[in-house]
Amino acid sequence: MKRQKNDAADAEAICEAVQRPNMRFVPTKTPDQQACLMLHRTRHLFIRQQTAVINSIRAHLAEFGIVAPIGRNGVKELLAVAANPDDDRIPEIARECIEALGRQLQLLQAQILEFDRRINAWHRSNELIPVLINENLCRSSAT
């Protein structure tokens, strides 16, 4: 096994791999397949960002002793507490930060729904998907 990681070593490894008789090659994805993968990956990014924002809201408010149950309703409760100007447990600057995170969360949730619609539309328009479903071979298009 060679230790040098450089373009020449990579090219040599590719040449060696191509000459092997039992080497399996993966077909190139079509532009439509790549676009679908991009839809899935972008949606997944938004979901990770949504989780980060939710965790941030929970952590920031926990610093002030304000906690809520896990789940969507819990986050809604936290945002409602932060939006209440009569609640003196939260300083005004912290309230503004939580409100900004709440707006960011709403934007992410809207984007996730939009990407869900786009993914569903792509699957409905792809002629191969019904065939795969009928044969019980359907696997996620994100793999």
Residue 23: which pLDDT band, with cuts at 50, 70 and 90?
Answer: confident
**Rounded mean pLDDT, 50-66:** 96
Q: How far apart are CA 39 and CA 116, in angstroms?
A: 9
Asked, for residue 4, whether it belongs to a domain, the answer is: no
Q: pLDDT tens for residues 81-107?
A: 999 999 999 999 999 999 999 999 999
Asked, for residue 139, whether it belongs to a domain, the answer is: no
Asked, for residue 73, whether it belongs to a domain, the answer is: yes
Owning domain of residue 91: 30-134
Whether pTM exceeds 0.95: no
The conformational region for residue 34 under phi > 0 = left, psi -120 to 50 = alpha, else beta, is alpha
**Rounded mean pLDDT, 1-18:** 78
Asked, for residue 46, whether it belongs to a domain, the answer is: yes
Residue 22: per-residue pLDDT:
82
Asked, for residue 61, whether it belongs to a domain, the answer is: yes
Asked, for residue 55, whether it belongs to a domain, the answer is: yes
Place of tokens 């408010």: 61
Asked, for residue 21, whether it belongs to a domain, the answer is: no
Asked, for residue 108, whether it belongs to a domain, the answer is: yes
Number of domains the chain is built from? 1
